Structure 1
C-alpha cells in the first residue's frame, strides 16, 4: 500500500480547501507514484471525484501517445477521471524543454478551467529541488533563485503545488515497483544535451563529498527564509510607478542607508516593475548597478533589462526604454478611451 512508504494524508490533506484537484501525470515513476498516492487517499475518503488526472503528449516522441493512453487507462482503473492532452503545431528548433513546459502548463490550464479544477499537483521531488538549486547557482542566481522551487507557486495563471519536494525519488520508485504499474522511460531524462540531466548525473558525485540532495534542499529552505526577510525589508521602500510612463524612482539617500543586500533587492524590484517582469538569471549586473548608484554622486544614463536608469544625486529614476514606454502609453490611452465610451 502507498501509505506504508509515503503518507498520502500528509500529501493531500493540506489541500482540503480545494474542491477539485488536478494531477500532472506523465507516466514516469515519479508521477505514477503521485497517481497511486492520490488514489489511496481518494479511496480512504471516498473522494475519487475530487481528482482529475492530466497527461500531455508533447508530440516529440512517437511513444508518447501510448504513454498518455496508458496513464489515462491506469487512472480509470484506480477510479480517477483523466484527460489526454496533445501539443500540436510546429516545435521550436532550440529551447525545446522550456517551450514544452510552457505548452504543457497552457494545455493543462485550459483543461482545468473547463473541468473546474482549482489547483495542479506535480510530482517534483527532492532530487528535482537539488538539481534546480545547482542550476541556479551555476547561473549566478542570488538568494531569490537559490530558494529553489516553492511548495506553492503560480505558473501561467495556475496554482501549482509540489507536495513531494521533500521525498526521495527512490521511495517514489519503490512505491511504483510495489504496484502493478509499469513506468515509462523518457530518453530525454538521460540526454546530456540538457543541462538538468548533466546536473542529475553529477548528484551522486556531490553526495559522495557530503553535498547530497537533502542537504541542498535544506540549503534551499534557509535561502527561502532569507529571501522572505529581504523581500519584507525591500517592500518598505516601494514607491508607486507613474501611471502614464510607468517610470519609478527611489531616493538615493535611502538606497545608501540600506544594507547592501536590501538595496540590491530594491533596485531589482524597481527594474522588474518598470521593465515589465524581465527578471535576469544573473544577478551580477543588478549588483554592479546598485553599487554605482550608491557610490557615484550622479549617473547620467545607463540601461539594464529594458530600463533606462539615471540619478541626479538626489533621486534615482528608472524608466522604460523608448519602445516599451511608447507601447505602455498606447495601452493607457486605449484603456482611457474604452472607459470614456
Structure 2
C-alpha cells in the first residue's frame, strides 16, 4: 500500500488487495454503512468491473437491533449497492440481547448470519473491512488480557468459520486511507456513535492510540508486531505438529483407547513448555465438551501435571492414577507413566 496514510487507494492498489479472490465463485461483502465497509464495497465493485470473469458479489448488512439508526443505515447501504449494481440483503439479529458481554455476543451473531448468507448464495468467502487500525486495537486488547502467542497474533488475513472463509483484504490499510478514498469518490457513510462510547473497551483503547503513537506505538508498528507474532506462532505450531508425531512414534504400538489421546509422560515432560501447552490444548479442545479451554487454566493444569509426572517417576511401579482432573469437559489423568485425555463424564444436574 501507499506510504501516505491519507492518500486515496488507486485502482492498481485495489487490484492487489483483491487479487487472491479472483477465482472464488461468489463473495459476500459485510457492509454496515461505516466508512471502512462502504469503502470495501466501493473498491470491490470497481475491482469486479475490471475483470473479464469476476466473482459474484452480494452485499449483506447485519442489523443487530441495538440502535434506531441501524435500519436507516441498512437502507442507505442498499441504495448505494444498487447504484453499484450489487444485490443487497439485510439480516436481523433477533431475540433477547445479553446484559453483559454484548459486543462479543453481537460479533458471534454477526458472523453466524454472514456465514448463513454466504451459504445461501454459494459464496466461498465473507469479506470484512477490518483495517490496520482495527488490528492495532485488537493486539492491545489481547495484550491487556494477557493472551498467549496465538492471541497476540491478532486477526489473520484469512480464517475459517462455520465452513466459510473469512477474508480481511484491508487488514494492512489504514482507516484514513479508506476515508480519503470515499471523499475523492464523493461517497457518504454513516457514523456509528458506539465506536466512541467509553462504555466499551475498544473505544477506550482507540482514544489512547494518539498517545501511544507519540511514543512510537502507532497502528503501523502495532500491526507489524502482530504480523511478527503470527509468524512466530505459525512456527511453534509446526513444532507442535512434529512433537505430536514424535510422541506417536515413541508409543510403538501402545495405541490409546478409542476417543482418547495418550502420551508417554517422560517424553512429554522433555518437550519445550510452549509445545507441551499446545498439545494439551489441542487434546482438551478436541475431546472436551464444554467449549475451548482457557489458556490460564491449561497453564495451571500443566504445572500440576509436571509435579505429578515427577512424583510418578519416583514411584515407577505404581499403576494407580497419580493425577485425575477435569477441564473444559475433558478428563486428564496420569497413570502407569502415561498421560490420558478423554471426554469427561457428563455432569449430573442438581436435583436430577
Under TM normalisation by the shorter chain, which class is it? 0.7 to 0.9
Counterpart of 2:345? Answer: 322
Matched, 1:248 2:257: no
Counterpart of 2:93? Answer: 87
TM-score w.r.t. the length of structure 1 is 0.87
Shift of 1:59: 1.2
Paired residues of 1:249 and 1:315 also in contact (CA < 8 A): yes
TM-score w.r.t. the length of structure 2 is 0.84
SS class of match (1:45):
coil
Match of 1:262 among 256, 275, 279: 275
Q: CA separation in 2, counterparts of 1:112 and 1:7?
A: 26
Match of 2:292 among 271, 279, 286: 279
Shift of 1:309: 2.1
SS class of match (1:153):
strand
Q: CA separation in 2, counterparts of 1:76 and 1:287?
A: 52
Q: CA separation in 2, counterparts of 1:187 and 1:47?
A: 39
Relative to structure 1, the CA distance from residue 191 to residue 83 in structure 2 (aligned partners, 3 Å threshold; closer, same or farther) is: same
Match of 1:44 among 50, 72, 83: 50
Match of 2:177 among 150, 158, 171: 171
Q: CA separation in 2, counterparts of 1:3 and 1:210?
A: 25
Matched, 1:312 2:335: yes
Counterpart of 1:297? Answer: 311
Counterpart of 2:202? Answer: 196
Relative to structure 1, the CA distance from residue 104 to residue 215 in structure 2 (aligned partners, 3 Å threshold; closer, same or farther) is: same
Q: CA separation in 1, counterparts of 2:11 and 2:34?
A: 18
Larger deviation, residues 249-258 vs 287-296: 287-296
Match of 1:211 among 201, 210, 217: 217
Match of 1:77 among 79, 83, 89: 83
Paired residues of 1:303 and 1:309 also in contact (CA < 8 A): yes
Paired residues of 2:23 and 2:55 also in contact (CA < 8 A): no
Q: CA separation in 2, counterparts of 1:6 and 1:278?
A: 44
Matched, 1:106 2:120: no
Shift of 1:13: 1.6
Q: CA separation in 2, counterparts of 1:162 and 1:53?
A: 15
Paired residues of 1:248 and 1:317 also in contact (CA < 8 A): yes
Q: Deviations over 1:127-160 (max 9, x none)?
A: 1111111111222211111111011111233211
In the alignment, structure 1 segments of 5+ residues that lack a partner are 327-341
Shift of 1:117: 1.7
Shift of 1:88: 2.4
In the alignment, structure 2 segments of 5+ residues that lack a partner are 1-6, 249-254, 313-321
SS class of match (1:302):
strand
Shift of 1:28: 0.2
SS class of match (1:73):
helix
Q: CA separation in 1, counterparts of 2:109 and 2:256?
A: 33
Aligned residues: 322
Relative to structure 1, the CA distance from residue 171 to residue 314 in structure 2 (aligned partners, 3 Å threshold; closer, same or farther) is: same
Q: CA separation in 1, counterparts of 2:226 and 2:290?
A: 23
Q: CA separation in 2, counterparts of 1:158 and 1:102?
A: 14
Q: CA separation in 2, counterparts of 1:306 and 1:9?
A: 47
Counterpart of 1:184? Answer: 190
Relative to structure 1, the CA distance from residue 241 to residue 33 in structure 2 (aligned partners, 3 Å threshold; closer, same or farther) is: farther
SS class of match (1:141):
coil
CA RMSD in angstroms comes to 2.3
Shift of 1:200: 1.4
Matched, 1:21 2:22: no
Q: CA separation in 2, counterparts of 1:315 and 1:216?
A: 42
